A and B are shown apart, each in its own frame.
Chain A
Amino acid sequence: MNQSKDLVFECETGNYHTFCPISCVSWLYQKIEDSFFLVIGTKTCGYFLQNAMGVMIFAEPRYAMAELEEGDISAQLNDYQELKRLCLEIKKDRDPSVIFWIGTCTTEIIKMDLEGIAPNLENEIQVPIVVARANGLDYAFTQGEDTVLAAMAQRCPKIKSNTEKPPLIIFGSLPELTANQLTLELERQGIQVTGWLPEKKYTELPNIPEGAYVVGVNPFLSRTATTLMRRRKAKLINAPFPIGPDGTRAWIEKICSVYNIKPTALDQREQKIWDNLKDSLALVKNKSVFFMGDNLLEISIARFLARCGMIVYEVGIPYMDKRYQQAELELLKETCIKQNSVIPRIVEKPDNYNQIDRIYDLAPDLVITGMAHANPLEARNINTKWSVEFTFAQIHGFSNAGEILNLVTRPLKRNVAKIPLS
């Protein structure tokens, strides 16, 4: 292991397992209640969605595949006419306020001009059409949400506000309850949240005037942040993410500092959460953890776990935006120094095969990984936690810190007779 005093960044081959970014439709269609998501791709995309979404697929979801056939690939069929036919069918059956077109690898390769077709069709059928290219050629898993939110950012109204302080818009899709908790947390400090990107309805997209402050809640939203800054002339508050009580506190503090507010009682608030977590903390202290990397939440969770007293060996991550995650990276480094623990290596575009070699060598107490590797690792007596659960569980804010530790400690608590398996 490296004993560096600074963060070490490496980059491997990119041969790793992750979910395709189109998976974002599964949580976004639930978040945006009046939306319909149309994934324009092949059977491969459809097969992934239907298997990854499991039971959700049977609940009459507001998403579907526009399955491309040979005629579409060889341009014997007219893209515009085909999409018009499907979108009219969707309009008739579901009457959504917006249709999202999710571009895939195939639409990229055959260069289907979705951005070009959408405005015309939108005019013709009178339903807003938002295009996001959430494909596996360019992005991993949660970055899918980033492409959708970046596209939505362009659709937000732009009305000059005459309030004294610039408004604050938070971006990132969170379950209603979690979003309300964070809003409330800021209100306690006297900060008014003007809006969220996304809100629970497309028709309620927040107003983002020039000079508004924007802050992200998730580490995978760099395109959205860039779009808000460059296209909407908003000012980005670069803060650690509100994951874990330490992250939440730092997030609030940073926002307060921008508005020149001195936060009140944040210390006590954070301390109380840590006190409540005592039992779980005793369980994880000095245990080691290895992130194989697949959802971009890795840095924030590693930082929280380091603060909990865990030893982080390696943080695999699909893509590392050092600018957007700057404050988070600094907090990670600071935390490791404060805890007097090893500073982990951060491996971008990891190679799963090499990682498994390193896991054998390091024998960590816990590996956070995708389902492809979880059972085989368990069969080799290595504890695992399925990383996707961190994406779907409520992990933001003070009150959800326990939820993260529940996920982390579950495999450590599991107390079954260890039968030698191999």
Chain B
Amino acid sequence: MKLAYWMYTGPAHIGTLRIASSFKNVHAIMHAPLGDDYFNVMQSMLEREKEFTPVTASIVDRHVLAQGSKEKVINNITRKDKEENPDLVIVTPTCTSSILQEDLANFVTRASYNSKADILLADVNHYRVNELQAADRTLEQIIRFYLDKEYSDTISHINKTKYPSVNIIGGFTLGFHNQHDLVELKKMFKELNIEVNLVIPEGTSVNQIKELPRAWFNLVPYRETGLKAAEYLNEKFKMPYVNTTPMGIQQTSVCLKEIQNILNTEGGNYNFDEYITRQTYFISQAAWFARSVDCQNLLGKKAVVFGDATHAANFAKILHFEMGIEVIWAGTYCKHDASWFQNEMSAFCKEVLITDDYNFIANKITQSEPDAIFGTQMERHIGKRMNIPCGVISSPVHIQNFPLGYKPFLGYEGSNQIADLIYNSFTLGMEDHLLEIFGGHEDNTEMISSNESSNLITWNQNAREELNKIPGFVRNKVKRKTEDFALNNQIQEITLEVMYAAKETNQ
């Protein structure tokens, strides 16, 4: 048992449902007790979805416990098949069905005799995988099912598209800014004269899956969802894939170079240099912005980064390489992808955290006292409590992270959005600073004790007044450091001299 107040990823079935409801005309049936269909509420609220969420529950109640589901699951499948005419029904196990160990596979087989729709049992185990891993698996499972059905082992008859083309794999419902990212990626490929063959799963019909192998290559923009599918396509159809996330100027350029290399080995003759240069210096404002005098203020600022592997890693790189901001530590809750993350961060980041314990992260933030936090909604709330600005860069998210306006994180427009986000996070801190200096807010003279041994130390009148002149958001830091200094030097009363001495040792 684990005492848990909050979690970064949801249970496995949420991942499966997110994939299922991203496809067009796919219905999911959860084998679950009453109340587990909370996914429908999230879909309808966060995505402000106009359509009814294509997810129903085959309810597990006392009768099912006593006698088993019997025909119930089968009846529910065939009923949905008639009512909604889906192309595919995905039977989704939950934590409850994991322990009931009913033969869901058998129900699926039997239901498929009487249904027009294809029927699949999602191959996920509640106790082994989380939401993101389950999404990755389910996407691969669906693709594999349709492609294995369509193509036997000999794959000679696949006609590639006449012009270079790509499948964009990943990007699904309830994903962080995924809708906007997909628009931005499509725009980019259009400008590069690369056809988008299929975007999967978002808005795609399962009947189109057989077209997947026609593309020249695959792009997996998010590591969490799509890698498994890309690996399968690579294995079966020798389709190359790119999984460098085009996030930030530099990473976008790396991604485009990789695409260029793939197209050239497939017989093309491509050079994206000019495109990259033009976009970097004339279309995107981020590169110029980083050079502008405004951004000199960011020099020496410290930030911490936390989120899913894709967003945290790429965001840390942007902060370090593009904005010159020191990343004290970067972390991810994607424990299953720890080695990749560690590897990516090791070059420039002193400390890497792999954890899904939010208390640990909260303590870590308290200790590191960064100037800004880039994290999930949870870190935003930690920041709020500590008066440190926070930019939200990753799931889990709230409704305000599903903006109506166009806000991609990927591609060149994404770089603009990210630069704004970073700059605004820090300026807010700066504004706060100026307000405090000029006495804009009410006088907050109460000092918060931040040091356990601080009751051994007293502050004389002058020192106390000096401390209160220091802007609120660094006051505690100064107080603690001065007290640490006093402790280390066996000083019991802090005077102005002690404060200045402490300041000097800190420089």
Contact = CB atoms under 8 A, between A and B. Distances in A.
Interface of A: 14-21, 40, 42-44, 46-48, 50-52, 54, 57-58, 61, 64-70, 72-73, 77, 82-83, 85-86, 89-90, 105-106, 108-110, 135-141, 353, 356, 370-376, 379, 421-422
Give the interface centre of B38, B49, B381 by most chain A CB atoms within 10 Å: B38
Contact of B6 (A57, A82, A371): A57
A372 B11 contact: no
Contact of A65 (B5, B53, B57): B5
B268 interface: no
B37 A372 contact: yes
Interface string B3-40: 11111001101100000000000000000111111101
B299 interface: no
B4 A136 contact: no
B50 A140 contact: no
A140 B45 contact: no
Instruction: Please list the 10 inter-chain residue pairs (A to B) with the smallest Cβ-Cβ separation, ordered nearest first.
Output: A20-B35, A136-B33, A372-B40, A379-B50, A42-B95, A136-B35, A43-B11, A82-B1, A58-B381, A47-B10
B450 interface: no
A379 B40 CA distance: 16
Contact of A67 (B4, B13, B99): B4
A42 B130 CA distance: 12
B56 A15 contact: yes
B38 A73 contact: no
Contacts of A48: 35-36, 38
B35 A50 contact: no
A241 to B, nearest CB: 24
B493 to A, nearest CB: 35
Interface in B336-383: 378, 381
B83 interface: yes
A20 B6 contact: no
A64 B4 CA distance: 6
A137 B62 contact: yes
Interface string B91-116: 00011101110000000000000000
Contacts of B53: 372, 376
A46 B10 CA distance: 8
Given A21-B35, A375-B45, A42 B126 contact: yes
Contact of A373 (B14, B35, B44): B44
Contacts of B381: 58
A81 B330 CA distance: 36
Interface string B123-161: 000111010000000000000000000000000000000
A353 B83 contact: yes
A44 B60 contact: no
B162 interface: no
A376 B94 CA distance: 25
A24 B398 CA distance: 22
A270 to B, nearest CB: 37
22 contacts: A18-B35, A43-B7, A43-B11, A44-B13, A44-B95, A44-B96, A47-B10, A50-B6, A51-B41, A65-B3, A65-B4, A65-B5, A136-B32, A138-B61, A370-B41, A371-B45, A372-B40, A375-B50, A376-B52, A376-B53, A379-B51, A422-B50
Instruction: Report, as a range, how many residues of chain B touch the other chain.
Output: 35 or more
A85 B1 contact: yes
Contact of A372 (B33, B41, B130): B41
Contact of B11 (A44, A69, A82, A139): A44
Contacts of B122: none
A83 B6 CA distance: 19
A86 B37 contact: no
Contacts of B42: 51
A19 B60 CA distance: 15
Nearest to A52: B38
B38 A43 contact: no
B59 interface: yes
Nearest to A41: B95
B108 to A, nearest CB: 19
B63 to A, nearest CB: 10
Contact of A43 (B5, B48, B65, B95): B95
Nearest to B128: A70
A86 B381 CA distance: 25
A73 B50 contact: no
B353 to A, nearest CB: 21
Contacts of A376: 44, 49-53
Given A105-B60, A371-B45, A136 B1 contact: no
Contacts of A375: 44-45, 48-50
Contact of A421 (B41, B50, B76, B96): B50
B11 A20 contact: no
Contacts of A61: 5
B441 interface: no
Interface in B387-408: 398
B3 A141 contact: no
A386 B76 CA distance: 27
A176 B96 CA distance: 37
A70 B99 contact: no
Contact of A20 (B34, B62, B98): B34
Contacts of A82: 1
B1 A373 contact: no
A86 B3 contact: yes
A16 B59 CA distance: 9
B255 to A, nearest CB: 33
B92 to A, nearest CB: 12
A421 B50 CA distance: 9
A51 B100 CA distance: 26
Contact of B34 (A72, A106, A136): A136
